[in-house]
Amino acid sequence: MAAKIIDGRALASAQLDKLKTEVADFISKNGVVPSVTILRVGADEGSVTYARQIRRTFERAGATASELELPADVKADQVLVEVRRLNANSSVHGIMLQAPLPAGLPWRVIADAIEPPKDVDGVTATNLGLLAAGDSRAMAPATPAGGMALLRLIGVEAAGSLATVVGRSTVVGLPLALMLIRAHSTVTVCHTRTPDLAAAGRSADILCVAAGRANLVRANMVKPGATVLDFGVNFVDGKLTGDVAFDEVVEVAGQITPVPGGTGPMTNVCLLENTLKAARLALGG
Ligand code: NAP
């Protein structure tokens, strides 16, 4: 029997409606609109599209997302000046640094210049450390936080499960693995040196894929009935596709996110959730 398709758009939309009420409450109590600034260096097409989607999500909830685009040939020092300026601006509650940065700009240095309480996409080493420590002050990266929200909303119990995460980047795979561990899952993390990816995949009740390789995960890598979350964003012949060979895996899995319309929409909602948290922190509550 074919897997149930997880409707990420509908689930995100319902969450957004809830957040809209929280945003309205925050504004009426404080007279302040939660706001994020999206910092982009260069005009990478995917990043521009993503920023537009974030703006729409924030507008729908009554919050503000603005964009600051710096030229692709900007020097690292100038980017740092802008980050510090945003850190010091009390009307900016959250700063989201868009990846990828042009070659030659040091991601870690620039990301770590963001004040951790304003780091609404959880890119600083401080927030990654707080996440690892299970500290409630952590700002969790929006993409893996969205994955965890999806699991919760569809009623998949992480506690006691076996999970496999394909990918170990500090923005998706690694923090997702940390969050699953915190949720009492037993987690295998795979990467390009993993000797038997198929076996690791087949062992998982929850299979999360964030490798950025179209069709990496095939039907023989999936346990029958597993929950499969596909975070991949790839363009094949101009068509957006995930990391999972959807047409064959859908016949094996129990439930699966499509691409598009799976994990992506919840990412923006989690970014808004973190921005509201940052705004509350900024006002001392
Ligand atoms: P990344 O920094 O390139 O990391 C990719 C990870 O996948 C690395 O750990 C890499 O292993 C591993 N990997 C690559 N090829 C593999 C293979 N053949 N077998 C096993 N592991 C492999 O990418 P990222 O930033 O984490 O993003 C991953 C994907 O998620 C991309 O498609 C990206 O566009 C997408 N994404 C989606 C969202 C969303 O909202 N849905 C948000 C952000 C990113 P090594 O460490 O050994 O190199």
Going by alpha carbons, the residue nearest to atom 40 of ligand 1 is 264
- CB of 185 closer than 8 Å to CB of 158: yes
Tell me the CA–centroid distance for residue 86 and ligand 1, in Å.
29
Residue 190 Cβ inside 6 Å of ligand 1? The answer reads yes
The pLDDT score that the predictor gives to residue 201 is 98
pLDDT in tens, 181-225: 999 999 999 999 999 999 999 999 999 999 999 999 999 999 999
The pLDDT score that the predictor gives to residue 45 is 85
Question: For residue 267, which atom of ligand 1 is closest to its CA?
Answer: 40
pLDDT in tens, 167-186: 999 999 999 999 999 999 99
The pLDDT score that the predictor gives to residue 121 is 98
Residue 169 Cβ inside 6 Å of ligand 1? The answer reads yes
Average pLDDT over every residue of 143-159: 98
The pLDDT score that the predictor gives to residue 46 is 85
Tell me the CA–centroid distance for residue 24 and ligand 1, in Å.
36
Question: Which of 26, 50, 22, 3 has its CA nearest to residue 267?
Answer: 50
Question: For residue 233, which atom of ligand 1 is closest to its CA?
Answer: 32
Q: Is 151 exposed, middle or buried (0-12, 13-18, 19+ CB in 10 A)?
A: buried
Whether pLDDT at 285 is above 80: no
The proportion of the chain whose per-residue pLDDT surpasses 90, expressed as a percent, equals 97
- CB of 244 closer than 8 Å to CB of 217: yes
Tell me the CA–centroid distance for residue 164 and ligand 1, in Å.
14
The pLDDT score that the predictor gives to residue 284 is 86
User: Which residues make Cβ contacts (< 8 Å) with residue 197, sequence separation at least 6?
Assistant: 166, 190, 216, 221
Strands (E) across the chain are located at 4-5, 35-41, 64-70, 94-97, 162-166, 186-190, 206-209, 227-230, 234-236, 239-241, 255-256
Going by alpha carbons, the residue nearest to atom 11 of ligand 1 is 191
Whether pLDDT at 67 is above 90: yes
The pLDDT score that the predictor gives to residue 147 is 98
Whether pLDDT at 76 is above 90: yes
The pLDDT score that the predictor gives to residue 233 is 93
pLDDT in tens, 215-270: 999 999 999 999 999 999 999 998 999 999 999 999 999 999 999 999 999 999 99
Whether pLDDT at 164 is above 90: yes
Question: For residue 262, which atom of ligand 1 is closest to its CA?
Answer: 41
The pLDDT score that the predictor gives to residue 5 is 98
Bridging pattern class, strands 234-236 and 239-241: antiparallel
As a whole number, the mean pLDDT across the chain is: 97
Whether pLDDT at 1 is above 80: no
The pLDDT score that the predictor gives to residue 248 is 97
Backbone dihedral region for residue 176 (phi beyond 0: left; psi -120 to 50: alpha; all else: beta): alpha
